[in-house]
Structure 1
């Protein structure tokens, strides 16, 4: 696994995140040497959703209010149905995602989290994947949806579901090591 020594990554989530979609990237990105913080509109802890019921709580390292894109190399957006649906209604969360994108930093979303790419305006014109039930939402937003394990488009990394997490994390590491991404229109 490539090293992320000296890199900082933010995971943005709230209650109802899919347990593995936060915990696996958190563990694997730390294992690669990155400093990883969990940010949320809530303080203290946020509770995950584990397949069919509430899962474990995860410690929140930073509030959304004290989080800035310029302090990180990438943002990771876990899925689950509740988590991205709640965050897409939060103007500060959407502004933070837009800021990462505007700075050419890696924006990574798995499962239902590409909903946040729709609401932040990032989906339009991009190659993306997602959980199959939000395919039409992405297409309606102007994305080119692909049924692939992981899709990368100039530093925007998307993945379908928890089964794809190893490839998703590997692609995040690769993209962070590439550095900033030029996203000007052709």
Structure 2
């Protein structure tokens, strides 16, 4: 099981990257850090800079065919930066259309909105994304974790770091772990 973790060069909520990453490793999978730019990713604990993580590969060097699943961690700035990168948006769109599972937590669904892949889907997120999801044709629910089977592939979403255990468990099930 090879899982892409798509993040921007800065702004990812550290625990929303590290907890699912460790869950994939613990399940015998290979997590891969994918970023629009090479180098390192600056993670954050809310608004405070935390650790840095080395980028494994840039988004222009991979495709959905290279992976079994995709994780979109949150953090307020992370998905906002990704939304402005056409390569990242195209990667998310192709992944979502591939039928392979996608998992997004907190503000992560913003990138799904930008990729125009939430129409007709039911998902959850940080509450401030509710209107964006509805305006993009999705149905927003306030649940710890939501697995939406409507659409080409499973979509796993959660609201916040407190939901990480349920998020990781549901994502791993969909990834086939």
What is the Cα-based RMSD across aligned positions, in Å? 1.1
Hey, what does 1:11 align to over in structure 2?
5
Whether 2:168 is the aligned partner of 1:169: answer yes
CA distance in 1, matches of 2:166, 2:156: 11
**TM alignment of 1:1-186, pairs within 5 A:** 7-14=1-8, 15-154=10-149, 155-177=154-176
> What's the TM-score once normalised by structure 1's chain length?
0.90
Count residues with an aligned counterpart. 172
> What is the CA–CA distance in structure 2 between the aligned matches of 1:97 and 1:25, rounded to whole Å?
18
Pairwise CA distance, 1:52:
3.0
| TM-aligned CA deviation for residue 122 of structure 1 | 1.1
Cα distance in 2 for partners of 1:62, 1:133 equals 31
- Equivalents in 2 of 1:67, 1:54: separation in Å? 28
- Give the TM-score normalised by the residue count of structure 2: 0.94
Gaps of 5+ in 2: none
Offset at residue 137 of structure 1 (A): 0.9
Q: Distance in 1 between matches of 2:21 and 2:54?
A: 12
Runs of 4+ in 1 over 4 A off after TM superposition: none
